[in-house]
């Protein structure tokens, strides 16, 4: 199958092409996707804790039921949901797609690692709360809260920071070709209201010990720069969001704490923000890859006293010094199923043909002799061709 689409592609072809494009680029991620299964309950507190968290991860990824639905965005601009079947389920387990109903985009291996980081800071007594900057529907933060609660007696608060209205107005990068911030700002699917996220925490019985931080990072994160963190998880994708979160939160990361960057490997501008920050602040702790997308390091030393390697305090920034502004979005609408989009395409094609037929009928009706003349002309041409 060609990987470049045409506007005439039916939705199924366009959606399959999208999976093929992802597979071509992230085949390794798919290959190493872990199975969608849980360990199952074992007697004893530790066995039950592990089973609960395994089950929770399947639920958060929408891998616990009989059908898993994924959202596809085609190059023609259609946004639609489709069922992942058979081997396609690996796209969800690897976190390579957007789930229609799941509460996190993150895949199972990355959630396993997040759980292990939380267990590690708790076991090692690393001081500080945990924050996720860029929570979307909140699934990864739900896992953090659940892991802390299941360990028992850990008093940390989980901070959940997001605009809760999607990406801010794009700050174009000025380069030709694909522009991540323009693409993501235009995506209404990424705008999840705060009430919906709060309701998801409540559904899992995880109301306590959670602080929501609604608003654009530019307006909210600098105010958190005096706090102490044991885990900082960054999932804001763009250069500005990642850079601002690092400037605001890294100074508070305790020694032994984890800095996790969800999109370090595939998103060039996210990686650039991290690399710039590390270079400017003399951070040398080795970066470890978690899966095809995520990377992290564990802080090994306090900032230098002379300030040369100490991260600076955050200042609101953005391309051209503009502050983040919300995108005007249509009210939240249901994502149509691929079959509905296919029917819409068929109906539009039929309408097009009907309009053309009606125009032809009107043309004939305007001059009654045109029809017979045209018929005669066709016959004559056919007769001449057969003689020639
Ligand atoms: C890729 S999603 C996060 C996925 C999520 N961590 C999960 O587990 O599925 C990125 C999120 O970052 C948020 N975001 C991006 N830029 C932001 C900014 N400047 N201020 C606040 N939120 C922002 C978006 O609203 C979106 O919810």
Q: Quick: pLDDT tens for 358-380.
A: 998 888 788 778 777 878 888 88
Identify the band that residue 220 occupies on the pLDDT scale cut at 50, 70 and 90: very high
What are the residue ranges spanned by the domains of the chain? 1-101, 106-326
- Give percent of the chain with pLDDT exceeding 90: 73
Report the pLDDT value the prediction gives residue 6, as an integer from 0 to 100. Answer: 60
Residue closest by Cα to atom 11 of ligand 1: 134
Taking the CA atoms of 22, 23, 24 and 26 in sequence, report the sign of the dihedral they define: positive
| Residue list, ligand 1 pocket, CB within 6 Å | 104-106, 134-136, 139-140, 162-163, 166-168, 190, 216-217, 235-237, 241, 324
Q: Does 181 score more than 90 pLDDT?
A: no
CB atoms inside a 10 Å sphere around CB 183: 14
Q: Could you tell me the distance, in angstroms and rounded to a whole number, from the CA of residue 41 to the centre of ligand 1? A: 34
Q: Does 307 score more than 50 pLDDT?
A: no
pLDDT tens-digit series, residues 187-202? 999 999 999 999 999 9
**What is the CA angle 35-103-129, rounded to 5?**
100
Residue closest by Cα to atom 12 of ligand 1: 134
DSSP state at residue 311: P
- Residues 6 or more apart from 89 whose CB is under 8 A from it? 36, 63, 68
| 135, 141, 249, best to mutate for ligand 1 pocket (most atoms within 8 Å of CB) | 135
Q: How far is CA 102 from CA 58, 71, 105, 293, 318, in A?
A: 9, 11, 7, 19, 31
Report the pLDDT value the prediction gives residue 349, as an integer from 0 to 100. Answer: 92
Q: Could you tell me the distance, in angstroms and rounded to a whole number, from the CA of residue 162 to the centre of ligand 1? A: 6
Q: Does 138 score more than 80 pLDDT?
A: yes
Higher-confidence residue of 375 and 269: namely 269
pLDDT tens-digit series, residues 9-52? 788 888 888 899 999 999 999 998 999 999 999 999 999 999 99
Element of type H or E holding 296 = strand 295-298
Report the pLDDT value the prediction gives residue 216, as an integer from 0 to 100. Answer: 97
Instruction: Tell me how far apart the alpha carbons of residues 97 and 111 are, in angstroms, rounded to a whole number.
Output: 15
Quote the pTM value: 0.89
Instruction: Tell me how far apart the alpha carbons of residues 315 and 268 are, in angstroms, rounded to a whole number.
Output: 23
Q: How far is CA 19 from CA 97, 248, 341, in A?
A: 9, 36, 17
Identify the band that residue 229 occupies on the pLDDT scale cut at 50, 70 and 90: very high
Residue closest by Cα to atom 5 of ligand 1: 135
- Residues 6 or more apart from 317 whose CB is under 8 A from it? 218, 240, 243, 244
Report the pLDDT value the prediction gives residue 360, as an integer from 0 to 100. Answer: 87
The CATH T-level fold of domain 106-326 is Rossmann fold (3.40.50)
């Amino acid at each position: 199958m060609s990987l470049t689409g045409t506007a005439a592609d039916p939705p199924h072809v366009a959606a399959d092409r999208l999976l093929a494009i992802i597979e071509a680029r992230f085949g390794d991620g798919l290959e190493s996707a872990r199975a969608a299964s849980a360990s199952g309950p074992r007697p004893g507190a530790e066995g039950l804790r592990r089973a609960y968290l395994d089950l929770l991860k399947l639920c958060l990824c929408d891998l616990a039921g009989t059908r898993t639905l994924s959202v596809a965005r085609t190059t023609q601009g259609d946004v639609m949901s489709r069922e992942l079947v058979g081997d396609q389920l690996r796209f969800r387990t690897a976190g390579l797609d957007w789930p229609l109903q799941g509460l996190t985009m993150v895949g199972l291996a990355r959630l396993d690692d997040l759980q292990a980081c939380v267990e590690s800071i708790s076991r090692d007594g690393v001081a500080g709360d945990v924050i996720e900057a860029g929570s979307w529907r909140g699934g990864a933060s739900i896992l953090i809260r659940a892991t802390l609660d299941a360990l028992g007696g850990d008093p940390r608060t989980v901070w959940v920071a997001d605009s809760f209205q999607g990406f801010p107005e794009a700050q174009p990068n000025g380069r030709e070709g694909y522009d991540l911030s323009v693409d993501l700002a235009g995506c209404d699917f990424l705008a999840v209201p705060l009430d919906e996220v709060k309701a998801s925490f409540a559904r899992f019985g995880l109301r306590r010990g959670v602080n929501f931080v609604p608003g654009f990072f530019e307006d909210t994160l600098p105010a958190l720069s005096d706090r102490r963190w044991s885990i900082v998880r960054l999932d804001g994708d763009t250069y500005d969001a990642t850079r601002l979160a690092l400037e605001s939160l890294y100074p508070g990361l305790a020694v032994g704490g984890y800095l996790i960057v969800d999109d370090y490997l595939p998103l060039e501008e996210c990686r650039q923000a991290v690399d710039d920050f590390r270079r400017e602040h003399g951070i040398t702790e080795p970066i470890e890859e978690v899966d095809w997308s995520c990377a992290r390091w564990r802080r090994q030393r306090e900032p230098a006293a002379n300030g040369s390697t100490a991260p600076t305090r955050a200042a609101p920034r953005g391309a051209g010094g503009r502050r983040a502004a919300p995108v005007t979005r249509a009210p939240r609408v249901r994502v149509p199923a691929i079959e509905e989009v296919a029917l819409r395409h068929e109906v539009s094609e039929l309408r097009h043909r009907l309009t053309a037929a009606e125009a032809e009928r009107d043309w004939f009706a305007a001059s009654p002799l045109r029809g017979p003349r045209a018929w005669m002309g066709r016959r004559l041409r056919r007769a001449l061709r057969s003689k020639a």
